[in-house]
Structure 1
Amino acid sequence: MPQPIQPDCLPLLIGSMPLDDHVAASRLIMEHTPAIPVWAQLPVFPEEGMVPQFLPGMPAVAEKNGKTYIDTACETFDADLLAFFEDYMAAVASPERLPGSRFALNEATGKGVAALVDTLAGLKTPPVAVKGQVTGPITFGTGVKDQDGRSIFYNETLRDVAVKLLALNARWQIQTLARPGCPVIVFIDEPALAGFGSSELISISKEEILACLKEVAEAIHADGGLAGIHVCANTDWSLVLDSGVDIVNFDAYAYFDRFILYGSQIRDFLSAGGFLAWGIVPTLKPEEIERETVESLFAGMQARLQQVEALGIDRRDILRQSFITPSCGVGSLSLGLAKRVLALTKELSSKIREGL
């Protein structure tokens, strides 16, 4: 079971930062969200891209002409596949084997985690919670290709491998980040779900997506973690709300009008104790980041809260079950704009929490 937590509109970050120094990124995070720090993902390093960061644990990884892929035609593929499942079964039976295994981020891909662990070790009191993130199985499965350029999600065996790799990576993160004794939140980052129902994902069923998401969420719960899901655009929110996660992070700035259409599912999710992470601070357009103020975002938040309240949910309960976040990560922004997003998130959270 997940450890208990009451969000109370605390600020929470998505993870990506426009820096090339993990220690500096960790310091910036602690300045703005000390109650729930997150490990920094720095996309300036190719190995920290959403797909490359979690790829090394896959079987039969190959590279040719600058492209990395899964080579199902190689002579060792069957042996590689067998070795993966043997490692998986061993790690499930003995989770203490996860550190140093193929399921953990390695020295090259896990620098953000290491920097956060060092930061946590220097704290006199533990934070309210700690946050990690893993690329979601839909985004990963459709982003990784085989030697013929076909997404591995359409290969049932490789899809299963990918889901299990990500699920155990999430469990490794919980083990690694739980050392201060506080709850660990792991977000499943699923930007690809914005394409659900489009031609890009037309052949993927809702049931297949739910099965993948639920397996990762259940793995997070197995080690007492809180599972969140982050989708930075519009999607079928009934799917996300039914995925078994504890936290739904949505772009409340640009897509709230689409999200609120799922009123009955939102009501059921909150009534069951779920949390909403309101991505109310814009990150997509520089002019929006520069134009918005704490006061304008607060006013926008109040208007949106009224619509959720109209579903029959007490406003105090909504606020108790909410986090305040940027609409997405800030890794693609200039450092100045990224710092403004972080400051707006921190200050907006403080202003909302004044009324609690």
Structure 2
Amino acid sequence: MSIPGNLLTTAMAVMPHTDAEHALKTALSMDVPFWPQLPNLCYYEDMYVQAAEHFPGILLDVNNRTLKFSMDKFIMELEETMAHFDDPSWFDISESYSSVYHRFLAMDLSDRPAIRGQLEGPISFGFNILDQDERPILFEDTVRSFMLEFMAKRINVQLNRLKALNQNAFMFVDEPGLQYLFSAMSGYNDIKAKKELDIFFSMVERPRGIHLCGNPDWDFLLGLDLDILSLDIYTNAEVFSSYAPSIKRFLNSGGVIVWGIIPTGFESFEKENINLLAAQLENVWHILAKKGIDIHHMLKQSMLSPATCCLVNPDKEKTVEKAFSSVQQLSGMLREKYGI
């Protein structure tokens, strides 16, 4: 497995910065860096907008910061999109949609243990983008089927660009919408989602995984064919630790867990300290150990990160940067404690 563990650090890509160079410097402070997504800098930097580039039927209004879908436009543009289906550049993120991505690609990152990219996943994209009738495009069978292959191609193209910089590159498929599958109101059930996500991941090159900050059905998520799972353990510690059998199977199959433990919200961050957060995380590990998971094996296949992204702090990027620094500090403490 090319994804490192041993409590090395990474973070969520969505950052509150309005200075691209500053954001990139902060991202590079992690052991496993990534290219930042900066929606406060420009609407093109929004994760849904970046995923929507060249998707047929998209109605993008940058000035009013809206992203919608038209079925008539989809039908009209589909033929042109299919004509580009074997053109990798069509599925990459252009400089117009992320200048910081292209700055990242211009760097020498070969000495890092790994690097990481990301793209919005099909479930969240499909829930978030509404058609002319204010209906999520996830409910349109034809669009959804196309979307699975389209997003898989986009992820593969980005992964190959990153692997040219570092052979241990991997991708996060960002899926905050997965937690809504298990609501009776979602209109798209978990059985159908499991079948279609299996199809989706069969088209996505390895190494690949899912990042989300919410609380889905963890048996469902850990049962997908993933190499890495990134989650908010700060909020979901009690729930996640109750899924020991699925966690054990995931780890035994070589999966890596990214434990998001440092809060990035101003109020939450200010009331915590490193020792309390370390104790909270270790408590989860000890609960899992009592349920038959070897701690040292688990830590070998673990990374650390902030718990979530945060765009709305009153101090803008300052608390987020403190959280990044705290992750590095916590990593050093725990690596020394466990002899890693």
Q: Above 0.5 in TM-score?
A: yes
Determine the structure 2 residue equivalent to 1:128: 113
C-alpha separation in 1, matches of 2:290 and 2:80:
53
What RMSD in Å do the two structures reach over aligned CA positions?
2.0
Give the drift of 1:60. 2.4
* 1:253 partner SS: helix
**Which one of the candidate residues 149, 160, 169 is aligned to 1:184?**
169
Determine the structure 2 residue equivalent to 1:196: 181
Task: Give the letter aligned to residue 88 of structure 2.
Answer: L
C-alpha separation in 2, matches of 1:271 and 1:249:
17
Does structure 1 residue 60 correspond to structure 2 residue 69?
no
CA deviation map 1:55-91 (0-9, x unaligned) = 12211223589543222135xx434223333433xx2
Does structure 1 residue 168 correspond to structure 2 residue 150?
no
CA contact (8 A) 2:4 2:113 kept: no
Give the drift of 1:104. 1.3
C-alpha separation in 1, matches of 2:212 and 2:35:
19
CA contact (8 A) 1:17 1:332 kept: no
**Which one of the candidate residues 226, 245, 262 is aligned to 1:264?**
245
* 1:133 partner SS: strand
Does structure 1 residue 310 correspond to structure 2 residue 290?
yes
CA contact (8 A) 1:47 1:53 kept: yes
Counterparts in 2 of 1:27 and 1:216: CA distance versus 1, 3 Å: farther
Determine the structure 2 residue equivalent to 1:26: 24
Give the drift of 1:199. 4.1
**Which one of the candidate residues 120, 123, 126 is aligned to 1:138?**
123
Give the drift of 1:330. 3.4
Q: Which runs of 5+ in 2 are unaligned?
A: none
* Aligned residue runs from structure 1 range 143-154, under 5 A: 143-154=128-139
C-alpha separation in 2, matches of 1:291 and 1:303:
19
Give the drift of 1:47. 1.5
**Which one of the candidate residues 275, 283, 291 is aligned to 2:271?**
291
Q: Which runs of 5+ in 1 are unaligned?
A: 92-96
* 2:84 partner SS: helix
Counterparts in 2 of 1:220 and 1:347: CA distance versus 1, 3 Å: farther
CA contact (8 A) 2:179 2:214 kept: yes
Does structure 1 residue 346 correspond to structure 2 residue 328?
yes
* 1:255 partner SS: helix
C-alpha separation in 2, matches of 1:68 and 1:278:
32
* 1:108 partner SS: coil
Counterparts in 2 of 1:217 and 1:183: CA distance versus 1, 3 Å: farther
Give the drift of 1:216. 4.1
Does structure 1 residue 253 correspond to structure 2 residue 251?
no
Task: Give the letter aligned to residue 46 of structure 1.
Answer: Y
CA contact (8 A) 1:305 1:315 kept: yes
C-alpha separation in 1, matches of 2:121 and 2:60:
23
Q: How many residues align?
A: 333
